[in-house]
Amino acid sequence: MGLMDDILGGGSTRQRQAGGEYVPLDIDDIEGGVEEASTKVHIARIEGQRDVIDIKNAIYDGDIVIADITRHTATDRTMERITQDLQEITREVGGDIVQKADDQLIITPASVGISRTKLGE
């Protein structure tokens, strides 16, 4: 299971200790300067059309959204509508959108592009 699976799946991830072993880490307990950051990365779960509103607001605010779409299939008409809405939003703001595998959408605001190649390729 990868880091994003851990984040999207249950609110905890793993942190490497000095000895090289991974231990559970509750991401809610991590202290950081999130409130001070000018751009935030939001994790969202798309279950229906109403979820687009929060994603739209985040993108208009200049934030990045990683959306879990595992509940839907590529042929699902609701997901098609949602994807079209999100593509329109990214065009309006000059952002970018890409589907990662079958389970995630990554949506960015203006001035943040998404590479279509993996690092190291």
In the chain, list all ranges with CATH 3.30.110.150. Answer: 34-113
Q: Output 51-55 pairs: Cβ under 8 A, ≥24 positions apart.
A: 51/82, 52/82, 52/85, 52/86, 55/86, 55/89, 55/107
Residue pair 64/39 in contact (Cβ under 8 Å)? The answer is yes
pLDDT for 7: 43
pTM, two decimals, is 0.67
**For 51-65, how does the pLDDT look when each residue is reduced to its tens digit (9 = 90+)?**
899 999 999 999 999
pLDDT for 19: 55
CATH class of 34-113: alpha beta
